[in-house]
Amino acid sequence: MNAGNESRAAAALARDIKELCGKASFPLRIMEVCGTHTMAIHAAGLKSFFPPNLQLVSGPGCPVCVTEKNFIDQAVLIAKEYDACLVTFGDLVRVPGSFGSLATFRSEGGRVRVVYSPMDAMGIASELSPRPTVFLGIGFETTVPTIAATIKTAMTMGIDNFFVLSAFKTIHPPLKILAAKKDLNGFLLPGHVSAIIGSDCYHYLVDDFGKPGVVAGFEPLDILLAIQDILRMAVFSTPQIINDYKRVVRGNGNAAALAMTGEVFEACDASWRGLGVIRGSGLTLKGPYSMFDANTHLPVDTPPAQDDPRCRCAAVLTGSTPDTCGLFGKECIPDDPVGPCMVSSEGTCAAYYKYGER
């Protein structure tokens, strides 16, 4: 689609959105669950299209942001105690732990390597053998199948110095908690996660909570269309689950990826920054694959972490805006973050700050 057609389409959708918001006698709050949507909305300047009674708020769909502070602490303690090399996705490097971030640890001589693909982590383990190499496992259902594939490959190749420290999470448990909130009228559902788990599985939002949800892609027009659909259902009280990302998401998801995940991982309880412990919302290595579990094979005593009492990441992850945090833009900035919502490339505070809403 050329730029002219795209702007015209966007303008038309923006008009529909304004009209629908005009029909509502109440303020409308839509939660964008996924951090990638938060960034995409800001990058395309979509908020400049919305009328004042429409608010888009962010949810807990940022894997870095919902990871507890003591995960960083545990990783650093493992690296120190076992002389291990930590391998991580880039975003985790600047998240503050209790004694500094992974970047701080690296500047003090700690071994920290950044990768884009978990397969590269396994390559690093081979290269550094026999030194323990620990992959810091954060991510949702999108990332997990690739980790599962990596672990299976490590098993086949007999790489015995490769470990995974799992903080993997699944999206449905927190979504059920958020759906009960009275002040949310609908959900912009994650595109990448849904590519794995499908769109049919969100029916509980309608059946149990009467709220609409739309699976959306990441192009500006994808998002505007999805918002228009959510608003129509919210304003006329006709909640449904709609898949607006059919070019990537099928109703029943990606069976191969789900099977891979199911073979290597099983559900466990997990602690979410902002939401506390949610039963069955985490993933842990199971059966023969538990030989790669850093938690059991590289145990350390991690003292409980103290979050800065002024830090409001917890609230931001459940729908508050960054400006409600007294640290936002002052003591907490991208170069010197207090909480992970400011560091992560999908973090709400990072998006607001980067795109000038300070």
Partner 1 sequence: MARNTATKIQLGHGGGGRMSGRLIRDLILPRLDRGYLGSLPDSVVLSGLGDSIAYTTDSYVVSPIFFPGGNIGSLAVHGTCNDLACSAARPVFLSLGLILEEGFPMDQLETILHSIAEAADSAGVEIVTGDTKVVPKGSADKIFINTSGIGKIESPVRPSPGRISVGDRIIVSGSVGNHGMAVMLSRAEFSFDFELKSDSASVWPVVERLLELGPGLKFLRDPTRGGLAATLNEIASLTGYGIAIDESAIPLDKSVVAASEILGIDPLQAANEGKIVAVVEMGMDQVALDLMEGCWQARGAAVIGGVTREHPSRVVLTTRVGGSRVVAEPSGELLPRIC
Give yes or no for a contact between 73 and 98, defined as CB atoms under 8 angstroms apart.
Answer: yes
Residues 284-343 that bind partner 1 (CB under 8 A): 333-336
- Given 58, 74, 142, 261, the residue binding partner 1 (CB under 8 A): 142
Task: Indicate whether 19 belongs to the interface with partner 1 (CB under 8 A).
Answer: no
Q: Read off the tokens for 213.
A: 């949800």
- Given 32, 68, 73, 91, the residue binding partner 1 (CB under 8 A): 91
Give yes or no for a contact between 88 and 79, defined as CB atoms under 8 angstroms apart.
Answer: no
Alpha-carbon distance of 56 to 214, in angstroms, equals: 14
C-beta of 180: minimal distance to partner 1 in Å?
Answer: 26
Give yes or no for a contact between 78 and 84, defined as CB atoms under 8 angstroms apart.
Answer: yes
Question: Beta strand pairing status for 265-272 and 276-285?
Answer: antiparallel
C-beta of 182: minimal distance to partner 1 in Å?
Answer: 30
- The interface region with partner 1, picked from 112-120, 228-236, 243-251, 261-269 by CB under 8 A, is 112-120
- The interface region with partner 1, picked from 52-60, 99-107, 241-249, 267-275 by CB under 8 A, is 99-107
Task: Indicate whether 138 belongs to the interface with partner 1 (CB under 8 A).
Answer: yes
Residues pairing with 278 in the sheet: 270
Show the site string, 332-351: x = touches partner 1 by CB under 8 A, - = not: -xxxx-------xxx-----
Alpha-carbon distance of 129 to 212, in angstroms, equals: 51
Show the site string, 55-74: x = touches partner 1 by CB under 8 A, - = not: --------xx----------
Residues 176-235 that bind partner 1 (CB under 8 A): 192, 220-221, 224
Task: Indicate whether 240 belongs to the interface with partner 1 (CB under 8 A).
Answer: no
Q: Which is nearer to partner 1, 221 or 291 (CB)?
A: 221
Name the residue among 102, 50, 95, 54 with its Cα closest to residue 77.
102
Number of CB atoms found within 10 A of residue 75's CB: 26
- Given 24, 44, 201, 206, the residue binding partner 1 (CB under 8 A): 44
- When computed from its CA atoms, the radius of gyration of the chain, rounded to whole angstroms, is 21
Q: Read off the tokens for 325.
A: 């945090």
Task: Indicate whether 12 belongs to the interface with partner 1 (CB under 8 A).
Answer: no
Give yes or no for a contact between 231 and 239, defined as CB atoms under 8 angstroms apart.
Answer: no
C-beta of 115: minimal distance to partner 1 in Å?
Answer: 5
Alpha-carbon distance of 60 to 74, in angstroms, equals: 22
Alpha-carbon distance of 302 to 298, in angstroms, equals: 12
Helix (H, G, I), strand (E, B) or coil at 33: strand
C-beta of 177: minimal distance to partner 1 in Å?
Answer: 21
- Total residue length of the chain: 358
- Given 29, 113, 152, 172, the residue binding partner 1 (CB under 8 A): 113
Task: Indicate whether 49 belongs to the interface with partner 1 (CB under 8 A).
Answer: yes
Q: Which is nearer to partner 1, 121 or 285 (CB)?
A: 121
Give yes or no for a contact between 253 and 201, defined as CB atoms under 8 angstroms apart.
Answer: yes
C-beta of 183: minimal distance to partner 1 in Å?
Answer: 26
Q: Which is nearer to partner 1, 50 or 163 (CB)?
A: 50
The answer, yes or no, to whether the previous bond of 27 is cis (omega within 30 of 0) is no
Residues pairing with 166 in the sheet: 137
Q: Which is nearer to partner 1, 39 or 205 (CB)?
A: 39
Task: Indicate whether 135 belongs to the interface with partner 1 (CB under 8 A).
Answer: no
Alpha-carbon distance of 64 to 99, in angstroms, equals: 18
**Footprint of partner 1 (CB under 8 A):** 3, 6-7, 9-11, 35-36, 42-49, 63-64, 89-94, 103-104, 107-108, 113-117, 120, 138-140, 142-143, 192, 220-221, 224, 333-336, 344-346, 353-356
